[in-house]
Amino acid sequence: MKGAPLRVYAILYLLFLYAPIALLPLFAFNDATIIAFPLKGFTTHWFTDLAANTALRQAVGNSLFIAAMTAVFATLLGLCAARAGAMARFPGKGGIIGFVMLPLVLPEIIVAVSLLIVMRQVLGLNLSNWTVIAAHVLICAPFSIAILNGAFQNLDPSIEEAAMDLGESRFSAFRLVTLPLVWPGIVSSLLIAFTISLDEFIIAFFLTGANPTMPVYIWGLLRFPAQLPVVMALGTILVALSVVLLVIAELFRRRGLARAGIKDTGGFL
Amino acid sequence: MTALIELEGVNKHYGDYHALRDIDLDIRAGEFFSLLGPSGCGKTTLLRAIAGLEDVTSGALRIDGRDMKGVAPNHRPTNMVFQSYAVFPHLTVAENVGFGLRRDPRSRTEKARAVETALEMVGLGGYGKRRAHALSGGQRQRVALARALILEPKVLLLDEPLSALDRLMREQMQLELIRLQRQVGITFILVTHDQEEALVMSDRIAVMFEGEIGQVADPETLYRKPATRRVAQFIGKMNFLDGRLSADGRAVEIAGLGRAGITEEISRGVSSGPVAIGIRPETLAILFEGESAPRREAEGVISEVVYYGDMTYYDVRVDGIEKPLTVSMKNLIGRPVLDVGAPARLGWDERALVLLPR
Amino acid sequence: MLLAPPFLYALALLALPILAVVLFSFWTQDFMTIDTGFTLANYREFFDKPIYTVLLGRSLMVSGIVTLVTVILAYPVAYFLSFHVAPARKSLWLFLITIPFWTSYLIRVFLWKVILGYNGVINSGLVGAGIIDEPLSFILYNVNAVIITLAHAFAPFAILPIFVALEKIDRSLIEASRDLGETRISTFFRVTLPLSMPGLVAAVLIVFIPTIGDYVTPELMGGAGGKLIANMIQTQFLQLNNAPMGAAIAIVAMTCVTAIALVFVGLNRRWLRGRG
């Protein structure tokens, strides 16, 4: 098990991971309607088309709203669970946390159809952005919990007690000591939940109302070959955006570790 | 001296687990008091109950005459040095030390001066601007001390503060804590599992086992006159022999060593009949050629030799005694270290016997 | 009780809805009206019409192959990350591995179509290089294409748990094994691999279970012969408007997946105990 062949393998593996994404900008700037080689020439008009597409702009607006709401609610739930997880032990705690984390391993279509049945048939609700938000919070909460758990477990449990011992109330101890220390975790939880929600299609397709989310709209575009270069342009922007968001999330996570004086041991999850 | 902290019939349950059992204890103003015991004996729970970080299930806890029931930790006249030090990693040293002064009405500059004074007191003058997580263990400990002392509590609680330090540092900090306590004059309550540490530092010690207090006494009494076999075993080394106390309490028949007359002081508190007799290793002696025992002698064979440099510990097998007796000898000039199997004359002294209920 | 909000949320939006699915699967629907009489008709139809069982079988097979391929390809990468990358650079590697996962799933799937398609990257490359005369057609619109795409999509899911398990292994155990006379290779099989089993099991489950529920990849990549059970569920719900039938299919699929997962975990535990 020498390192060199493994390194070559790992690099090839990375190339495999990045191969599809690397094609995105190629076709986004390619002056041809057909997505195929050989490339025809450079153009930016797919991006101008994109900007002119009001339906798409609306879908993007919907998705941003859904993603923002999802991020906030999932992080709030994550904060509750992570704090409870770091604190008291009580019977059934493992089971409850396991149950809350279940959506992580549940096939998404199961979540989608079960919520569809409840929303439409049982509660008789109209599908809207809020039905999508409800579902996205459900699937994003486990990620938020995992991230925030990490942040809380790095905390010395006596640190909040120390603040109380030095004259702070329970609430101000949380505000002055715990919050600053887990703040980076909160930011990265917000960003991760936002990113997941923004990209989620399988569930959104079932639960979306009259106004499609961005992935649902893209799904529609994929059927029209003439629209494909626009999709490529949109994809390029999205990839760039997610990379930026993830870099910020990662920087915050590292800053959190540095602030707590802990050695870095790995990435997300 | 009056009691600063009074505990009356304090109990603590965690579900089925009975962590504190009927604790009655008075801790005096200005004393250095230690809670000593093996891990899981409830000493930390007791300390946290005094700090208000743990509710008690039943019983009364008063500090300075005031009942502490329902009083939150931030409203108690106690401050704590945590085992992990709990130094806030996101703050500087000065911000840590000044943490509890947030509501203090003094001006910013006055507070800064107080922080610097506190830092100087613990030997960290000039460290204020450093980041807390860049400090060494010993320095963090000092920050935790300064942070608590700056609030001028009536009681300083120390939860195993020295356990994470290396030996040299620990011995240095022991002396420094004693100095600090004398300087500020407030009550220190120390939790420790290290009997030597407790003996060195404390005015009085409470020895705890399984949620109960076994004995409360000053270090010398605790060492010389332990109340139970368990306390005797926990503090220092002790040989135990079977014996029988006479009806008048003035003589014991010791298995393997014979009969010995004792003073009333030694037998006090022990009823006649079968008793356990403790003998500390340093009160026994191996007699070398030409030496003779001042009081009593016994014959034995050396079964184990452990050489410590300044001392040698011998196990000596004596007929009629089940376990070999441990004897500690100073390695004085010209005194040889004996080998296993060598015959040994053992000197002992009935004045050093410790009588305990069997 | 801080756990209450997330717990109640999961209860209301996960447990109750799944119960509703179970309930629905015993009902029937005729156009818009739902007949709430208890019946096994949906399940009977499932096992009577070969289309459903064929789809389920194909789904399980595809998920199984995807899992196998993904985990086998991922293990060396996780091993490399854990044992051969300097600690300071580990998070950079992990970061690089996770980035593709966070980029639009739909577009990633579609791009595989571009790579594998008739005029795609592979075909035009091979034709251009003169290796083949005619573009290959067996790599798109069939099960193979679905497998390749899914294996790509779930790669980080497989790498992360294995990496975490490998990181937890006390390095002195490996040194001890070498000290006791084992070679590098036999140390790997006698110490490293068994100790990384929990991560491997997690990786298998985290890939196997969700792939059953994906209908995007088979829809875009599978062509006529590459459709899977999730497509059928989606069709029943959204096109045929037959929620009870869709619910029954979902329940059967879910039960199969759970059963396979439990058997796998059980076998693994027995195997580990048999060794230890």
Domains for chain B: give ranges and CATH numbers: 3-224 (3.40.50.300), 237-357 (2.40.50.140)
Report if residue A164 sits inside a domain: yes
Q: What percent of chain B has pLDDT over 70?
A: 100
Report if residue A13 sits inside a domain: no
Q: How many angstroms away from the CA of A98 is the closest CA of chain C? A: 10
| pLDDT, averaged in runs of 10, over chain A (269 residues) | 79 89 84 74 84 86 94 93 73 76 84 86 80 92 87 82 88 87 86 88 88 89 82 86 80 70 48
Q: How confident is the model at residue B1 (pLDDT cuts 50, 70, 90)?
A: low
Assigned token pair, C188: 């790997």
Tell me the mean pLDDT in the region C39-66.
89
B306-316 burial by CB neighbour count: b if 16+ within 10 A, else e? eeeeeebebbb
Nearest one of C185, C261, C244, C201 to C31, comparing CA atoms: C244
Token pair 């220390």 in the structure block, residue: A181
Report if residue A24 sits inside a domain: no
Residue B200 contacts residue B222 (beta carbons within 8 Å)? no
Sequence-separated (6 or more) residues with CB below 8 Å from residue A2: none
From chain B, the residues in CB contact with A259 under 8 A are 89-90, 133
Phi, psi of B325 (to 5 degrees): -85, 135
Max mean pLDDT among B310-319, C27-36, C130-139 falls in B310-319
Task: Report the pLDDT value the prediction gives residue C219, as an integer from 0 to 100.
Answer: 87
Residue type, B189: I
Tens-place pLDDT, residues B226-281: 999 999 999 989 999 999 999 988 999 998 899 999 998 888 888 899 999 999 99
Better-predicted residue by pLDDT, C184 or B171: B171
Q: How confident is the model at residue C127 (pLDDT cuts 50, 70, 90)?
A: confident
Spell out the domains of chain C, with CATH numbers in brackets: 58-275 (1.10.3720.10)
From chain A, the residues in CB contact with C206 under 8 A are 104-105
| Beta pairing, strands B3-14 & B187-192 | unpaired
Residue B185 contacts residue B32 (beta carbons within 8 Å)? no
Task: Report the pLDDT value the prediction gives residue C186, as an integer from 0 to 100.
Answer: 85
Tell me the mean pLDDT in the region C28-48.
79
**How far is residue C257's CA from residue C263's CA, in Å, rounded to a whole number?**
10
Report if residue A181 sits inside a domain: yes
Token pair 């076709």 in the structure block, residue: A27
Chain Cα centroid distance, residue C213: 8
Q: Which of B14, B74, B160, B163 to mutate to test the interface with A (most CBs of A within 10 A)?
A: B74
CB pairs under 8 A between A and B: 67
Residue C141 contacts residue C223 (beta carbons within 8 Å)? yes
DSSP 8-state symbol, B351? G
B89 at interface of A, judged by CB pairs closer than 8 A = yes
Nearest one of B45, B11, B38 to B231, comparing CA atoms: B38
Tens-place pLDDT, residues B173-220: 999 999 999 999 999 999 999 999 999 999 999 999 999 999 999 999
Nearest one of B152, B278, B166, B155 to B227, comparing CA atoms: B278
Residue B28 contacts residue B16 (beta carbons within 8 Å)? no
**How far is residue C86's CA from residue C192's CA, in Å, rounded to a whole number?**
19
Task: Report the pLDDT value the prediction gives residue A91, as an integer from 0 to 100.
Answer: 67
Show the domain range for A215.
56-260
Our count of domains for chain A comes to: 1
Helix, strand, coil tally for chain C in percent (to 5): 80, 0, 20
| Beta pairing, strands B285-287 & B343-348 | antiparallel
Report if residue A81 sits inside a domain: yes
Token pair 């098990």 in the structure block, residue: A1
**How far is residue C156's CA from residue C168's CA, in Å, rounded to a whole number?**
18
Tell me the mean pLDDT in the region B352-357.
91
Q: How many angstroms away from the CA of A82 is the closest CA of chain B? A: 20
| pTM of the entire predicted model | 0.77
Which of A156, A161, A177 has its CB closest to that of B53?
A: A161
Residue type, C75: Y
Sequence-separated (6 or more) residues with CB below 8 Å from residue B55: B12, B49
**Domain CATH for A113:** 1.10.3720.10
Its ipTM equals 0.83
Nearest one of B56, B46, B55 to B25, comparing CA atoms: B46
In B235-291, which residue ranges form alpha helices assigned H by DSSP? Answer: 264-267
- Residue C120 Rama label (left phi>0; alpha psi -120 to 50; beta): beta
Tell me: pLDDT of C183 over 90: no
Return mean pLDDT, chain C: 85
Burial of C267 (0-12, 13-18, 19+ CB in 10 A): exposed
| Subunits with 3+ C-beta pairs closer than 8 A to A | B, C
Sequence-separated (6 or more) residues with CB below 8 Å from residue B133: A259, A260, A261, B87, B89
Task: Report the pLDDT value the prediction gives residue A1, as an integer from 0 to 100.
Answer: 46
User: Nearest-CA residue of chain B relative to A88?
Assistant: B14
A13 at interface of C, judged by CB pairs closer than 8 A = yes
Tens-place pLDDT, residues C137-146: 777 788 888 9
Residue type, C33: T
User: Nearest-CA residue of chain A relative to C21?
Assistant: A114
Tens-place pLDDT, residues A159-214: 888 998 888 888 888 888 888 888 888 888 898 899 889 889 989 998 887 788 99
Report if residue A26 sits inside a domain: no
Element (H, E) at B257: none
Nearest one of B215, B210, B68, B212 to B202, comparing CA atoms: B215
Cβ count near B152 (within 10 Å)? 12
Tens-place pLDDT, residues B12-35: 998 889 999 999 999 999 999 999
Nearest one of B320, B321, B313 to B340, comparing CA atoms: B313
Q: Which of C29, C110, C119 to mutate to test the interface with A (most CBs of A within 10 A)?
A: C110
Task: Report the pLDDT value the prediction gives residue B281, as an integer from 0 to 100.
Answer: 94
Assigned token pair, C10: 């999961």
Assigned token pair, B6: 């009074």
Report if residue A25 sits inside a domain: no
Tell me the mean pLDDT in the region B140-151.
92
Calculate the alpha carbon distances from B78 to B104, B179, C211 in Å: 16, 20, 58
Q: How many angstroms away from the CA of B164 is the closest CA of chain A? A: 15
Sequence-separated (6 or more) residues with CB below 8 Å from residue A54: none
